Structure 1
Amino acid sequence: MVCPRCIRIIKDQFALLHLPVNEVRLGQVDLDRPLNQEELERVKSVMAEYGFELLEDRKGKLVEQIKTLLIEAIHYQEEKISANYSTYLAQAIGKDYSTLSHVFSSMENVTIERYIILQKVEYIKAELDYEELSLGEIAARLHYSSLSHLSKQFKAVTGYSPSEYRKLQIMNRLPLDQVT
């Protein structure tokens, strides 16, 4: 789950299944009690209809936790990051960053650093499409050291400079859960 709409869908589906939900957050559902096997199968079936899957292995859960933390930090900026992303992830998850990096890379076939860049580019695309912020404001929100650094990363990923992207009105954004 990577957006508020996803959370709403999950809440609604659990309610329709009459299952006790305490809280739904990006990437996680907290229940009042463990589900029995029949309930678990119903949840899997309903979630599959909406393109979701239950993560039951430790590595998969860890990767989803990393993605969720990064998406929240980059796109929703609910979490103010005072350190770099590697320190932030290690502290938030409570594991050494090299472990996180190894698991993520082996499961996703992309490094955490590359994933962060791709998520930032999707954020930039959205802001360019909405035309509410200047490029300088976008760079500041994403903690880029300079506008030049933002532009170079954006062009390396999209093939366009931010101004070319805005001018051409390309609007080829990806769903956040499909960014890799």
Structure 2
Amino acid sequence: MKVFIRYMVSVRCKMIVQAIFDKIGLTCEVIDLGEVDVQGIISAGQLEQLRTGLLEAGLELIDDKKGVLIEKVKNVIVELVHYTDELPKMKNSDYISSKLQYDYTYLANLFSEAEGTTIEKYIIAHKIERAKELLRYDELNLTQISYKLNYSSVAHLSNQFKKVTGITPSYYRQLKHQGRTALENV
């Protein structure tokens, strides 16, 4: 049985979800971002315990098909931007469509309607958060970061970064104390 969970965007979330399922006595076969394969059937009591445990952890069960699909779009983007060493050299729309086996126009319209923003703006927000992370690590220069995040140039990254944050990447790097936004809040 599959269970779908909103706001599950990191390895830490996976660990929290595993602990919640263990506490309830449910066996997880596979835990992915936003999705858990559970062994067997979940009783009504266990489902309520699961719902409560997830809410206490800042997560929630997704009950409707559209909500599940929107969460899958988000998780594909999070995996793509934050957990892939190098972004694929293909259009984001093609990548998302191929991963989810849905027409991109359908996904884009559904996402915009539910989230109040476009998929592309959501991707940009995550790419800027990833750029902030890489800038804080101070291991890569701007050229390497722009290449890693699949920008056409350093200027393109810099322009988007300034548009989103109000400051340049170079200035951000100097502000070592500047905080990042949690992935579930992007």
TM-score normalized with structure 1 length:
0.95
8 Å contact from structure 1 (residues 125, 171) kept in 2: no
Match of 1:115 in 2: 122
Distance in 2 between residues matched to 1:148 and 1:34, nearest whole Å: 53
For residues 142-172 of structure 1, what are the alpha-carbon distances to aligned partners after superposition, in whole Å with 9 as ceiling and x for unaligned? 1100000000000000000000111133522
Shift of 1:80: 5.2
8 Å contact from structure 2 (residues 129, 180) kept in 1: yes
Distance in 1 between residues matched to 2:86 and 2:45, nearest whole Å: 37
Structure 2 residue runs of 5 or longer lacking an equivalent are: 1-7
Match of 1:17 in 2: 24
Pairing of 1:55-74 with structure 2 (within 5 A): 55-74=62-81
Match of 2:165 in 1: 158
Identity among equivalent pairs (%): 40
Shift of 1:40: 0.7
Distance in 1 between residues matched to 2:150 and 2:134, nearest whole Å: 15
> Counterpart of 2:60 in 1: which secondary structure?
coil
RMSD: 1.3
TM-score normalized with structure 2 length:
0.92
Number of aligned residue pairs: 179
Distance in 1 between residues matched to 2:97 and 2:40, nearest whole Å: 29
Is structure 2 residue 143 aligned with structure 1 residue 143? no
Structure 1 residue runs of 5 or longer lacking an equivalent are: none
Shift of 1:78: 6.2
Shift of 1:59: 1.1
Match of 1:133 in 2: 140
Distance in 2 between residues matched to 1:15 and 1:3, nearest whole Å: 19
For residues 74-124 of structure 1, what are the alpha-carbon distances to aligned partners after superposition, in whole Å with 9 as ceiling and x for unaligned? 011068524211001111111110000011011110100000000000001
